[in-house]
Amino acid sequence: MYTSYWPSKNNTSFFFPSKQAKKVTDTILSVADTLGSTVLSTKMTGQKKTSLKSDIITMTLQRQAPSDIGNETFTGDEGEGSVTFPRTEVLFGRNGTTLPSVDTQVSRLTCLTAPTGF
């Protein structure tokens, strides 16, 4: 079962029944995935992070060489959180360093108002 809680600007809350919550969440995540993939496809390995921010989603994206990602802590530039990666060999195996690049994305979702139609 899937229930979402979305805080609003005036500290009131909106609760969505499970089907509506799943539909809204799936749509937002699908758009975020497409946007992230599009932005990352324009980046070169080793370029600085790219941060995107809107009222409902904040994303930090980066394209790196596989050898640069092991034991690294990737932190979002806009407070999305962070993740620490294990050694390169653990992530990709022995042949992982032959990959041309590794894309990293950290996202945070925040809905400030109730979506229209609910």
In a domain, 18, yes or no: yes
Q: In what order do the strands lie in the sheet with 50-53?
A: 50-53, 57-64, 102-109
With contact defined as beta carbons under 8 Å apart, do 104 and 65 qualify?
no
- If one counts the domains in the chain, the total is 1
Binned at pLDDT 50, 70 and 90, residue 20 comes out as confident
Q: Is 97 helix (H, G, I), strand (E, B) or coil?
A: helix
Domain that holds residue 105: 4-109
Q: pTM of the predicted model, to two decimals? A: 0.67
In a domain, 117, yes or no: no
pLDDT, one tens digit per residue, over 73-112 is 888 777 677 888 888 888 888 777 678 888 988 888 775 4
In a domain, 67, yes or no: yes
In a domain, 22, yes or no: yes
Placement of tokens 């005036």 in the chain: 10
Q: Is 40 exposed, middle or buried (0-12, 13-18, 19+ CB in 10 A)?
A: middle
In a domain, 116, yes or no: no
With contact defined as beta carbons under 8 Å apart, do 25 and 17 qualify?
no
